[in-house]
Structures are given as C-alpha cells and as structure tokens.
Structure 1
C-alpha cells in the first residue's frame, strides 16, 4: 500500500475525480449552503504515522453538532439533505482534495479522531498507521465501522498485510457500486 505507484495512481484518479465531479460539487455546495449555511465540514483526523490532518467532507449534520465519532453522534442532528448525502456517499467527494494533497489514499483504513483512544491503540498494535488513511477499504465495503474498534483494526491490518494491486480497484469499484454502509449513526 505504500508503493510509489499507488501515490501516483491516487493523484491522477483524485484529480480526474475532482475535475469530472466539479459540476456536482458546485451544486452540492450551493444546496449545502442553504441547508446548513456551511457546506464543508472540516475535522482534525489521525493520518499516516499518527500525524494530524484536516479531513474535508460535505456537512451532513447541523453546524452546532458536537464533533464526535459518527456512531456517537445524535441521529437528530443529521439534516434532510445530510441523509441524502450519506446514503449516496456524496459527502465523501471533498476527500478527493485530501487524496490529491497526499494526506489520504483512495484505499486505506478510514481516518479516525484523536479522541478514539481504543481504536488508536488497536491500530498502533497492528501497524495500521504506517499507511495513508483512505476513503474506502476492506472494512468499509464490509460495513465494519468505528463502533467496533478492535474488529476494525483487525480488518485494517488484514487489508494491509494481504494487499494486492487488484484490491485497490476492487475496493473502489465496490464502493462506487454502493457496497458497504459507512459509519452508522446510532439511535
């Protein structure tokens, strides 16, 4: 997963994705502005080698929502437009910018918050932070989210240790076809 060719592929696919989706990004920004007044959500996340970076997403919750892991967030904080963005996974599009900058990969372990101590400890034990975090990966297409930190860290480690080139494309295609549910908001 740390192969230089992956970084090159990430760069060009993210660049193409941003250019190709520009009209959609602009429309979502305008709708998001009317929905919450602040369409882009920024949050500090744990990156490669545990270095911090600012993750970008389309905002799906009210602006005043407490910044916690998604599975701990209040379900009522999600806006109607936010539900659409989450179901369609369009809330993830701005992360292509994170990929372009080299903070993330298209495929890798989902970046966690610094407050997710158990997940961080489990990932440290398994060497998960040696790779760039990703938009999608093995856990995401199998609907394993951050509410199960040990299981998630195990899947992340398995993905890294058993890495094959075809996995990169398989995970991306599976995600684009709607496989996996992403991080779920609990009741």
Structure 2
C-alpha cells in the first residue's frame, strides 16, 4: 500500500508559516525589530494672550474677569510649536485644543490638546496631550495619551518647564521634553 505524502507536506508548510511569522515579529526579515518604538523630542509651545494672540478665554467664572489665572476659565488654544524657545524659531507644528484652570486657588491648569505636526519629519502626525499642569512649579509632567500617523497608539509623558512667563500679559513659552512609545 502506498503512503500519502500530503500530511508531511502540510505539516512542513505550517512549520514554515509559523517560522516566517516568528521571524517577522521578532526581528523581521530585514533585521529590524518590530513592536513599540521610543521617540524623544523637545519642542516649545508659544502661548500668547496679547499681540497676535494664540490663546483666548471663552468662558470664566461669573463676577470675575476671564483670566487663565482664575478658577473656571476655559482657554481655547492654537499655539505655535517651535524647535526653539524664541517666538521666531522654526515652527514644527500647532498645539490645538483647550486648557482649563481647574484649581480653586488658580494654580493648576488641565491641558487637553493635540500637537499637530507640520514639519517634514512628522508632517500630519499628532500627539494627544492631557494632564494637570501645576504651572507655578519649575517642572511638571503630563501624559501623552494617544497619537496618529507616525505616532499611532502613542503612550508616554512630557516634562514641562516654563522658559518664559510675563505675568502682566500672560504670554508664556513652555518647553516640552517628550518621550513616547508608539508603533
């Protein structure tokens, strides 16, 4: 009686497919490791409430002036994101969204905005920033909760540092030192 070689061929094919899948996920056929990548970047948020304003109050507590320093004030922002602290530095994107003064004593903002990149390297990609900004502290940390494009499925954090603050005008430049893991 003749033996069929079909089961052996099928087992060999399955083994080859599993091997191909493992090679692709663990190191790829070209040697590149797939999986989460880590990206570090530094940029500066140019937040201006006077002159060519990029942040404006849209709501505030009754009986008080709407000011970023007052509890309950909601600011809408479309701030330039630059590669240096100077307002004339090369723009790499825009920070678009809102922040709210969420502390009764006025010392804490809650940030909710997208960094929409326009530079050549990350053009069209975004990072979603969310968290408490205790802006009177030298350093504070907020979350990177999502991203799109090159930062799809991003998770991470940003350490914020105020490099310029003019209290009479409420103009500020904030340094973002960002670490994200993404695919």
Query: What is the TM-score normalised by the length of structure 1?
Result: 0.23
| Greater helix share, structure number | 1
Q: Looking at CA atoms only, which structure, 1 or 2, has the larger radius of gyration?
A: 2
Q: Which has the higher contact order (CA 8 A, sep 6+)?
A: 1
TM-score by length of 2: 0.23
